[in-house]
Amino acid sequence: MQLVIQNLNKTYANGVQALKDVSLTIRQGMFGLLGPNGAGKSSLMRTIATLQEADSGSITLGDLNVLTQKDEVRKILGYLPQEFGVYPRVDAVTLLDHLAVLKGIRQKGERTDLVNALLHKTNLWNARTKNLGGYSGGMKQRFGIAQALIANPKLIIVDEPTAGLDPAERNRFLNLLSEIGENTIVILSTHIVEDVKELCTDMAIINKGQVLYKGSPADALAEVSGKVWKKAIAKAELEAYRKSHHIISERLIAGRPVITVLSEHSPEDGFERATADLEDVYFANIFGHAKPEPVA
């Protein structure tokens, strides 16, 4: 089974065009959708998740038309939105059991087995009787995955799942996603490059509603290999370098600006060739035709 998106467009009532002729083919496994906040990632995820209409274009999941067969799609869809709320005074077992009923699982014994398995899978078994309001951010995210896995979905969408998690919870959550992605289509929508680098075999970069890159992280790295140059400069020199060079990123290291430039050849004396990483690919696409955000 694969998800095929063709020429998808969406403009909101305020005139913002969130999606501009988006076309993607997403196969089984972990797929990373990278882009800055406001790039159109959530608009695309909500459209795939049957939560909003598209203006034009098509989405198919296997033999299903996602835009017209919403009820059938929802039966095989798991969704963890960016803003995920829980009933604070309900425990995990009770809420998962209730959600399983809503998913059409009527047999009590079947639901009990399913809920227990999901709690073990997401490492929440020891906290199963604790009210969800007492869960940490990472525990709530893992509960979100548990509810998304009810009914053994063929497609799982997770929107900005690691934002705000501490390093230990982030690693635990990414390991869980990696395990799920072995047998399911999992779309990981994020602005965190490291999440895609660690998990995904295929990816796309989106900005201002348009797909800028589609392919594997390895191919993306090959495209910029040998073309990334870095140089530490004085703060007073920043503005001049912004005007004279194609800078794709700026950052402060030990209080001193370090600029990254994409170029076939060394820009000038003082630049050193750097080993390209996926963050360089991201910046090269996002800021390929625009200036990067200045350092503070």
10-residue averages of pLDDT along the chain (296 residues)? 96 94 95 90 94 96 96 92 83 94 91 94 92 90 90 89 81 84 89 85 93 91 89 90 87 88 85 88 75 44
Domain end point (choices 215, 231, 256): 215
The answer on 158 and 103 residing in a single domain is: yes
Query: How many residues are recorded in the chain?
Result: 296
The answer on 193 and 115 residing in a single domain is: yes
Q: What is the pLDDT of residue 291?
A: 43
Q: What is the pLDDT of residue 288?
A: 65
Q: d(Cα 51, Cα 70) in Å, to the nearest integer? A: 9
Q: d(Cα 91, Cα 104) in Å, to the nearest integer? A: 21
Q: What is the pLDDT of residue 55?
A: 96
Cα–Cα distances in angstroms (integers) from residue 114 to residues 7, 51, 75, 84, 250, in the given order: 38, 26, 16, 21, 49
Q: What is the pLDDT of residue 64?
A: 96
Q: What is the pLDDT of residue 296?
A: 40
The answer on 259 and 129 residing in a single domain is: no
Q: What is the pLDDT of residue 246?
A: 82
Domain assignment of residue 87, given as a range:
3-215
The answer on 43 and 166 residing in a single domain is: yes
How many structural domains compose the chain?
2
